Structure 1
Amino acid sequence: MRPNLRVRMQEEVLVGDGALGTYLYQLGFPVGISYEEFNLLRPEVIGDVHRRYIEAGAQLLETNTFSANYYKLAKFGLESKVEEINKAAVRIARSAAGADAYVAGAVGSIRGGKRVNVSVQELNQFYEQQISALLTEDVDALLFETFYDLQEMRIALGKARKSTPIPIICQFAVDQLGRTLDGYSIKEAFGILREEGADVLGFNCHSGPKGIMSVMEDLNGPLDIPLSVFPNAGLADYVDGEYVYGATPEYFGESAVSFADLGARLIGGCCGTTPEHVSAIAEALSNYAPKSLQEGTALPPVQPSIIVEEPETSIKDAFSGQVSDPSIVELVKERHTVIVELDPPRDLDIRKFMDGAAALKEAGVDALTLADNSLAVTRMSNMALGHLVQSEVGLRPLIHIACRDRNLIGTQSHMMGFDALGIDHVLAVTGDPARFGDLPGSSSVYDLTSFEIIRMIKQLNEGIAFSGKPLKQKAKFVVGAAFNPNVKHLNKAVERLEKKIASGADYIMTQPVYDPELIVAVKEATAHLDIPIFIGIMPLASGKNAEYLHNEVPGIRLSDSVRKRMEGLQGEEGRKVGVEIAKELLDTALEHFNGIYLITPFMFYEMSVILSNYVWEKTAPRPCHLSRS
């Protein structure tokens, strides 16, 4: 019978195994397949890898189950084999471990640092299913690895601790900043996890030895609880068509001693490591005598807080009047407020766009909103044009930001740029798929959903980066969300809207509406909401334009009467009737909404000028705006 694992990790340093996935890749097995399915199809291959690590000196093996959960196996059509794959993995590892080595059931993060749309309820179900399968085969421990945020780790730990008394190892993937993606310091996260039943706390993946060591040094350890460390073999490089890792076994051996000095009691390797790396770790630690953890630094009391440095006074705060201007949300609570959309040009010539912006400023509009490559058609950067509108025209820009075109890195970078330029009003949208635009071969990124991008932008307002890193000052974004009322079941659309509000939306802008009865229905369906709604009205330019919008543009539906009135019209006559219809819609909209969102068709900004003036004629004198130049 193997000695008690908890006791051993208090008294000595154990050697863990190394990578499995990247090692299989090095052995010639291609990427893009489920290595977890090898537990069923190629058990001899997995068993051979485990035995190589045992022969190298590993005292603990992880099962080949990192991605063996319902969500990730479903990508390969294997969701019905969760239990079978996990059980087989334990049996394979147990056979290779023999009588002396321990077997830990590996459970990987489902979100994996991405903003995937997996609910908390689903996470609970997926973790319970995998953990239950591992426990039926009598593992010695559970090892949760490559988690990026504390919330998900707590879900997994909670499911496990309710089911078993065996040791549980919790490992985060962090960079040198040492914070989780949801903004907790590692000390705070460790304190919470210890309180909730974790036996060992640690790190794996994402960083090589140096990055993890930097975080451990900041803990002022050793701590009074065992730590575990499974670094990558440095950063991967793509050489001659293959991924290679640069950290040598010798370097890992040297690092192992430093890790042990900082309180690590389980040391192995993650991506890029091999049996040679594990052998170097085992040799380096063969005569190592650790100090007692009883004398280690205690973790702080469980009083989690997301620490943010006080914002410094910025140049735009000190020398610009724009930050103190009333926001769109503040204005619309006091009076009717007009936002006009003017699409950035598809050309390098911006003269007509700037003329339109100036004309709309003269017409008294409260903000000019610029789409983000709407309909997936390539247009000039709305950030650049927004800055010009603000600095040269003196009109507030309200910028759309789509999930389609930028990954998490690009999205945060983009938002930081807006903040530097003093552009603080944005509209978060999903964005039409790239395949429907003018460059159909382009990729649609969609790292974030519209709900998630709202939450992440509002996180910047708390002074927390997307990575969880504290920022030196807080952003001041006013974030809008889109709403499409042109649906069969309006109540379902409102339920989705409520989720956007729960995510942090400050105001709502609707798709264009062409039916006065629908405007009233929207008012009634959203009467319980406490944030302003800007009702969308887009004047029609011609009969063909009307039919195109009705039949081909997602989220837009025209009434039969409107289509009949526009039928066959074109040119100036079509635009005249389009403005008449828009005025009729405004008559109803102004009775029920303070927020008006005019959408300019085909750069015919004169139509939006007429309609803006109509709003002021029907409501109050044209507002006098503070200059934003």
Structure 2
Amino acid sequence: MKPDLRTALARKPLVGDGAMATYLYQLGLPVGVSFEEFNLLKPDVIADVHRQYAAAGAEIIETNTYSAQHHKLSRYGLEKKVEEINAAGVAIARKAVGQNAYVVGSIGAVRGGAGKNIRTATVKRDFEEQIGVLLDSGVDGLLLETFFDLDELSLALSLIRRRSDISVICQFAVEDAERTHDGIPLPDAFRRLKSEGADVIGFNCRSGPAGILRALEMVPQNLDIPLSVFPNAGIPDYVDGKVVYSATPEYFASSARRFADAGAKLIGGCCGTTPEHIAAISRALKDYSPTVPSIPSSEAVRPPIVIEGAPEASAEAVGAPPQQAEPSIVDLVRKRHTVIVELDPPRDLDITKFMAGAQALKDAKADALTMADNSLAVTRMSNLALAALLKERVGIRPLAHIACRDRNLIGTQSHMMGFDALDIDHVLAVTGDPAKFGDLPGSSSVYDLTSFEIIRMIKQLNEGIAFSGKPLKQKAKFVIGAAFNPNVKHLDKAVQRLERKISAGADYIMTQPVYDPELIERIAEMTRHLSVPIFLGIFPLASGRNAEYLHNEVPGIQLSDEVRRRMSGLEGAAGRAEGVKIAEELLDVAMAHFNGIYLMTPFMAYEMTVSLTEYVRSRCGSLAGN
């Protein structure tokens, strides 16, 4: 009769199994489905994977229950099958391997790397439900794997300990070898988990063998607790339409003995590993006896980058005081009338007119130039690139729109990190018009984030925390704007929505264009209580046809009957002149109530917004004298 799992782990290194989901993908099963549901739909397939790993030498087999929790299963409409799927996962594994291997119940994080907004009560409910089923189904131990944050892992461990003294393995997914994603130093995290009743602590996923070896360097040598490692098979690549992993079984074999020398008592594989990788580990650990620890230094795992000819930083440069920060748009608008002008990025590769307009607007003393992010889902030049050019060539502050439509969470954070690196710190968060209505209707709309969520996530970067929850090496400094459409039937409800954006972290507001003086006064009255400044939108009309198009076809824009009458039939210079006149009349009303003015340039006719910017500047003196 084999000893209990806790005793076995104390004696010698045990071989864990390898990946389930990525191996099923390699076997031809589809992605985008719940692999845990295969416990019910394809139990023979799951059982065969377990048998393959056991035959390869795995002494610990994980149940196919990693994501079998209420919240995660609800994505597939399976939330009512939590008990059935988990119980089946244990039964399949037990029948497949019998008493030849230990069966441990796999439990993944509920929040994961980007689930910060999931309530703790929801996390607790999901853990309690899954833990209860796995324990009642007769597992030999529980494996808490791919956890990003210490607090969530600690919560799951505490719920287990309230019910059972069963062996528990706790594993972090880390990228930074020194800390967990919520910023806790690894030595502190390991000590806390040990004190709370963990039997084994270690790492899985996110890194290949080299990265996890580096993470092991941070584990205190006197911790006196078994360690576990389940690395990925290297970094995934996309080749000939398939995701492939490059780390070979032979490489895993050589890494296995180094893991064991470093104190690992449970060694398996995560994403990309197969029965061949596990067989290699098993062969490497056969008749294992410890040697001198050979964990590579940090420099060996991640060699320093030397740039030929790069000058060394002088002591004076390192210790130089920071430059005085330029006042933000919010700082300016609280003191005086401030003008933001929108200039559309070009739809082709010629930026000549765009740059000329930017220079003219700077000369007119516009405070910032704002650029949409493919507005109306029409493809235009990157506003990130243009923002950098504006700073370098024109010397005017750029303010870039960030739409939720075009980038997933990865792309959005990457985009924001690029803005920060270029010191472009003023942005406007918008939802973005659906892609199917633009010039590439076959493209997809991403919408990983709502406008509320993207504001919160960008604000999180200002706290030095990535979208995933991982701490960054420094804090961003974004000044974040939110959009407001007052051209609605129920303005009070629109203001309530605006209040939610402010609660999410918006620092200022930019409105859709308004063409009714009475509406401007209503907006001022109904937003008087708000704590952030509002930039009222004014869009000079270029012609009668332009007026009708905006009124009838562009979401969020509504012209008054009077404005449509005045613009009716006007084209060319006459239309532009009347459009500027109407805009000046609207500015007279707006400037009496708002310091913030947001001008939009029609059809790159920047002469119109230059004229209106100069009009605001000329009116500032007369207003100050009143």
Cα-to-partner distance string for 1:369-417 (whole Å, 9 max, x where unaligned):
1122222212223233333433333322212233434455554554444
Q: Distance in 2 between matches of 1:519 and 1:529?
A: 16
Q: Counterpart of 1:211 in structure 2: which amino acid?
A: G
Cα-to-partner distance string for 1:458-500 (whole Å, 9 max, x where unaligned):
4554556667777666543323233334445555555554454
- Residue pairs, 1:13-162, within 5 angstroms: 13-99=13-99, 101-110=101-110, 112-114=112-114, 122-150=122-150, 153=153, 156-157=156-157, 160=160
Matched, 1:369 2:359: no
Matched, 1:356 2:371: no
Moved more, 373-382 or 27-36: 27-36
Task: State the 1:339 CA deviation.
Answer: 0.9
Q: Distance in 2 between matches of 1:576 and 1:326?
A: 34
Matched, 1:330 2:331: yes
Q: In structure 2, what is the equivalent of residue 172 of structure 1?
A: 172
Q: Distance in 2 between matches of 1:441 and 1:316?
A: 51
Q: Distance in 2 between matches of 1:553 and 1:175?
A: 45
Task: State the 1:331 CA deviation.
Answer: 0.8
Residues 336 and 197 of structure 1, relative CA distance in 2, 3 Å threshold: farther
Tell me the TM-score normalized by structure 1.
0.82
Q: Distance in 2 between matches of 1:244 and 1:459?
A: 33
Matched, 1:381 2:382: yes
Tell me, what secondary structure is at the counterpart of 1:61? strand
Tell me the TM-score normalized by structure 2.
0.83
Cα-to-partner distance string for 1:523-549 (whole Å, 9 max, x where unaligned):
455444432222222223334333333
Q: Distance in 1 between matches of 2:254 and 2:222?
A: 18
Q: Distance in 1 between matches of 2:69 and 2:279?
A: 31
Task: State the 1:240 CA deviation.
Answer: 5.5
Matched, 1:511 2:481: no
Q: Distance in 1 between matches of 2:581 and 2:335?
A: 27
- Residue pairs, 1:389-400, within 5 angstroms: 389-400=390-401
Tell me, what secondary structure is at the counterpart of 2:105? strand
Moved more, 457-466 or 24-33: 457-466
Residues 381 and 50 of structure 1, relative CA distance in 2, 3 Å threshold: closer
Cα-to-partner distance string for 1:300-329 (whole Å, 9 max, x where unaligned):
xxxxxxxxxxx99999998998x6332111
Moved more, 365-374 or 27-36: 27-36
Q: In structure 1, what is the equivalent of residue 533 of structure 2?
A: 532
Q: Distance in 1 between matches of 2:553 and 2:172?
A: 47
Q: Distance in 2 between matches of 1:595 and 1:342?
A: 17
Structure 1 contact 184–468 (Cα < 8 Å) conserved: no
Q: Distance in 1 between matches of 2:572 and 2:197?
A: 72
Q: Distance in 1 between matches of 2:315 and 2:615?
A: 41
Q: Distance in 1 between matches of 2:249 and 2:66?
A: 24
- How many residue pairs get aligned? The number is 603
Cα-to-partner distance string for 1:168-191 (whole Å, 9 max, x where unaligned):
433222336454444444345445
Q: In structure 1, what is the equivalent of residue 298 of structure 2?
A: none
Q: In structure 2, what is the equivalent of residue 252 of structure 1?
A: 252
Q: In structure 2, what is the equivalent of residue 615 of structure 1?
A: 616
Cα-to-partner distance string for 1:513-570 (whole Å, 9 max, x where unaligned):
3444544454455444432222222223334333333333233344455445544444
Q: Counterpart of 2:217 in structure 1: which amino acid?
A: E
Q: Distance in 1 between matches of 2:438 and 2:134?
A: 47
Structure 1 contact 541–570 (Cα < 8 Å) conserved: yes
Task: State the 1:574 CA deviation.
Answer: 3.6
Q: Distance in 2 between matches of 1:191 and 1:403?
A: 41
Residues 24 and 463 of structure 1, relative CA distance in 2, 3 Å threshold: closer
Q: Distance in 2 between matches of 1:489 and 1:195?
A: 57
Structure 1 contact 483–497 (Cα < 8 Å) conserved: yes
Tell me, what secondary structure is at the counterpart of 1:224? coil
Task: State the 1:267 CA deviation.
Answer: 1.7
Q: Distance in 1 between matches of 2:315 and 2:77?
A: 54
Task: State the 1:612 CA deviation.
Answer: 2.5
Structure 2: runs of 5+ lacking an equivalent: 292-312
Tell me, what secondary structure is at the counterpart of 1:602? helix
Q: Distance in 2 between matches of 1:105 and 1:186?
A: 25
Q: In structure 2, what is the equivalent of residue 303 of structure 1?
A: none
Task: State the 1:288 CA deviation.
Answer: 4.3
User: What fraction of aligned residue pairs are identical, expressed as a percent?
Assistant: 67
Residues 358 and 246 of structure 1, relative CA distance in 2, 3 Å threshold: closer
Q: Counterpart of 2:361 in structure 1: which amino acid?
A: L
- Residue pairs, 1:187-586, within 5 angstroms: 187-191=187-191, 193-194=193-194, 198-221=198-221, 223-238=223-238, 242-288=242-288, 324-407=325-408, 410-462=411-463, 474-487=475-488, 490=491, 493-494=494-495, 496-586=497-587
Q: Distance in 1 between matches of 2:101 and 2:540?
A: 73
Tell me, what secondary structure is at the counterpart of 2:44? helix
Cα-to-partner distance string for 1:25-44 (whole Å, 9 max, x where unaligned):
34343444432222112212
Q: Distance in 1 between matches of 2:593 and 2:318?
A: 36
Q: Counterpart of 1:262 in structure 2: which amino acid?
A: A
Structure 1 contact 15–57 (Cα < 8 Å) conserved: yes
Moved more, 119-128 or 602-611: 119-128
Q: Distance in 2 between matches of 1:426 and 1:420?
A: 14
Task: State the 1:289 CA deviation.
Answer: 6.3
Tell me, what secondary structure is at the counterpart of 1:218? coil
Residues 469 and 387 of structure 1, relative CA distance in 2, 3 Å threshold: same
Tell me, what secondary structure is at the counterpart of 2:217? helix
Residues 243 and 579 of structure 1, relative CA distance in 2, 3 Å threshold: closer
Q: Distance in 2 between matches of 1:59 and 1:320?
A: 57
Q: Distance in 1 between matches of 2:499 and 2:120?
A: 18
Cα-to-partner distance string for 1:203-255 (whole Å, 9 max, x where unaligned):
21222211211111233536333322111223344555554434333432332
Q: Counterpart of 1:602 in structure 2: which amino acid?
A: F
Q: CA RMSD in A?
A: 3.8
Residues 547 and 198 of structure 1, relative CA distance in 2, 3 Å threshold: farther
Cα-to-partner distance string for 1:70-123 (whole Å, 9 max, x where unaligned):
444344443432332122112212323424643322223455545797565654
Q: In structure 2, what is the equivalent of residue 301 of structure 1?
A: none
Q: Distance in 2 between matches of 1:314 and 1:449?
A: 45
Q: Distance in 1 between matches of 2:201 and 2:610?
A: 62
Residues 485 and 159 of structure 1, relative CA distance in 2, 3 Å threshold: farther
Tell me, what secondary structure is at the counterpart of 2:58? coil
Structure 1 contact 47–96 (Cα < 8 Å) conserved: yes
Q: Counterpart of 1:331 in structure 2: which amino acid?
A: L
Structure 1 contact 109–144 (Cα < 8 Å) conserved: yes
Q: Distance in 2 between matches of 1:264 and 1:496?
A: 53
Q: Distance in 2 between matches of 1:516 and 1:8?
A: 79
- Residue pairs, 1:582-621, within 5 angstroms: 582-620=583-621
Tell me, what secondary structure is at the counterpart of 2:369? strand
Cα-to-partner distance string for 1:339-393 (whole Å, 9 max, x where unaligned):
1111122233333323322332233221111122222212223233333433333
Q: Distance in 2 between matches of 1:100 and 1:57?
A: 10
Tell me, what secondary structure is at the counterpart of 1:480? strand
Q: Distance in 2 between matches of 1:180 and 1:281?
A: 27
Structure 1 contact 540–579 (Cα < 8 Å) conserved: yes
Residues 125 and 598 of structure 1, relative CA distance in 2, 3 Å threshold: farther
Q: Distance in 2 between matches of 1:411 and 1:573?
A: 43
